[in-house]
Amino acid sequence: MQQAAAPKISFVSLGCPKALVDSERIITRLRAEGYELARKHDGADLVIVNTCGFLDSAKQESLAAIGEAMAANGKVIVTGCMGAEPEQIEAAYPGVLSITGPQQYESVLDAVHRARPALHNPHLDLVPPQGVRLTPRHYAYLKISEGCNNRCSFCIIPKLRGDLASRPAADVLREAEKLVAAGVKELLVISQDTSAYGVDLKYAESPWKDRSVRAKFLDLANELGELGAWVRLHYVYPYPHVDEVIGLMADGKVLPYLDIPFQHASPDVLKLMKRPAAQDKTLDRIKRWREICPDLSLRSTFIVGFPGETERDFEFLLDWLDEAEIDRLGAFKYEPVAGAPSNALEDQIPDEVKQERWNRLMARQQAISARRLKRKVGTRQQVIIDEIGPTVAKGRSKADAPEIDGAVYLSSRRPLRIGEIVTAKIDRADAYDLHGTVAGF
């Protein structure tokens, strides 16, 4: 008897790593039910578009992706952040089958079942226990909470995703352990506000192995550090208790890397932004962190041209950067987001001023980055291999997160494998990347 073909779904995942995790969960469920993934919209039974609604430019990108899917296929299900405000999508594409907001996995699956029921084939019910991941096999994002209790004036994420909802520590640890057992070498801890983890649970304990673990940033980081993989902490706000985690970095339990989205340095702008943990002692703390853990790399993002940012505020930021020596930096020109309170602020900054400040910020950062990287020439660094090229391999040191930071380009006497961690001697540095030779396997 000829077997019916499994329904094929083409999947588009847009937006941040948090949206990527949502996509992975949906795909895992679909694969468990016997659906297959298609490479192209054309010929697939359905298209799912996981949208991003963070900035207006991201919304445009999402609408364009929906338009492409409608033109190439016609059966389209939309989910994700932009789906939380469906009016714009409905107006542009009234034929879309279903629109849901972020984390509404069940509704997405219901819509898929309605449009194209799954095959009942027990042989297809085979999904690896760690789920299906969209990142390469050797690293994985680990989402520890959803939502956010802060109310930054430029951001609508709490409106889209609600208040902070943390996962119990044992739940996170079980997922992390499965990932490591499946070959993951690096866990990237993400959330909207990682250092606030567990506040909503009142730091409740949950049973893990022979002990109980509190849903607390430090306790979770400590336990993750026991699993034998690199642990990288993203979206950490500098609340006072972050100081404690630096000790874990100095002990080699978690990577000496902190991704702190400072967004600005000027106290006046931070106040207008309503940023959490905005306080003037940050420079002193960074200094202390580097005394405790000299290898610490700091990554941050900044917004230039926020309403009310004066030339003095901006220069304050440039000077602050010089002092803080932020290793890795992403900069954005302020963009009003529909529904964000900052739209109503006075003194919006003209586009040409935003551009000019952005250029100056990037030039300053390039000099800082080059200076910081130069100090690494002659040292030995552990490098995780991401790509193999014909002559050199591309990897990352402990100071580089995938996708957003720099790279280490390596030559090697013997072939390298993706996901392998090697020791490299650093021969030279440029503005953002390092170059070296493999010195140990």
Q: Which of 23, 100, 192, 342 binds ligand SF4 (CB under 6 A)?
A: 192
Is 421 strand, coil or helix?
Answer: strand
Q: Which of 66, 82, 99, 155 binds ligand SF4 (CB under 6 A)?
A: 155
Q: How far apart are CA 379 and CA 359, in angstroms?
A: 32
Contact window for ligand SF4 (CB under 6 A) among 120-128, 143-151, 244-252, 428-436: 143-151
In the complex with ligand SF4, the residue whose CB is nearer, 175 or 193, is 193
Q: How far apart are CA 277 and CA 240, in angstroms?
A: 8
**Does residue 158 touch ligand SF4 according to CB under 6 A?**
yes
197 Cβ partners below 8 Å, 6+ apart? 144, 145, 166, 191, 215, 216, 217, 220
Q: How far apart are CA 221 and CA 227, in angstroms?
A: 10
Cβ atoms of 237 and 276 within 8 Å: the answer is: yes
Q: How far is the CB of 158 from ligand SF4 (least distance, A)?
A: 5
* Span 14-43, contacts to ligand SF4 by CB under 6 A: none
Q: How far is the CB of 271 from ligand SF4 (least distance, A)?
A: 14
In the complex with ligand SF4, the residue whose CB is nearer, 131 or 261, is 261
* Span 360-399, contacts to ligand SF4 by CB under 6 A: none
Q: How far apart are CA 98 and CA 431, in angstroms?
A: 46
Burial-class residue 332 by CB neighbours within 10 Å (0-12, 13-18, 19+).
Answer: middle
Q: How far is the CB of 341 from ligand SF4 (least distance, A)?
A: 11
**Does residue 168 touch ligand SF4 according to CB under 6 A?**
no
Contact window for ligand SF4 (CB under 6 A) among 57-65, 77-85, 144-152, 310-318: 144-152
Q: Is 52 annotated as a binding-site member?
A: yes
Residues in the interface with ligand SF4 (CB under 6 A) total 10
Contact window for ligand SF4 (CB under 6 A) among 33-41, 43-51, 121-129, 149-157: 149-157
Contact window for ligand SF4 (CB under 6 A) among 4-12, 145-153, 176-184, 198-206: 145-153
**Does residue 157 touch ligand SF4 according to CB under 6 A?**
yes
Q: How far is the CB of 155 from ligand SF4 (least distance, A)?
A: 3
Among 42, 5, 22, 13, CA closest to 116: 5
Cβ atoms of 90 and 61 within 8 Å: the answer is: no
In the complex with ligand SF4, the residue whose CB is nearer, 56 or 226, is 56
Cβ atoms of 242 and 195 within 8 Å: the answer is: yes
**Does residue 150 touch ligand SF4 according to CB under 6 A?**
yes
**Does residue 148 touch ligand SF4 according to CB under 6 A?**
yes
Contact window for ligand SF4 (CB under 6 A) among 154-162, 306-314, 371-379, 395-403: 154-162
Burial pattern 288-311, b for ≥16 Cβ within 10 A else e, equals: ebbeebebbbbbbbbbbbbbbbee
Answer left, alpha or beta for residue 91, where phi above 0 means left and psi between -120 and 50 means alpha: alpha
Pairing label, strands 139-143, 186-190: parallel
**Does residue 191 touch ligand SF4 according to CB under 6 A?**
no
**Does residue 177 touch ligand SF4 according to CB under 6 A?**
no
Contact window for ligand SF4 (CB under 6 A) among 104-112, 147-155, 338-346, 402-410: 147-155
In the Cβ-directed half-sphere of 189, how many Cα atoms lie within 13 Å?
A: 35
**Does residue 52 touch ligand SF4 according to CB under 6 A?**
no
Q: Which of 47, 111, 152, 340 binds ligand SF4 (CB under 6 A)?
A: 152
Among 17, 27, 394, CA closest to 187: 17
Q: Is 293 annotated as a binding-site member?
A: no
20 Cβ partners below 8 Å, 6+ apart? 13, 134, 135, 141
Q: How far apart are CA 192 and CA 149, in angstroms?
A: 9
Residue set of the binding site for [4Fe-4S] cluster: 16, 52, 81, 148, 152, 155
- Site residues (vs ligand SF4, CB under 6 A): 148, 150-152, 155, 157-158, 192-193, 276
Residue set of the binding site: 16, 52, 81, 148, 152, 155
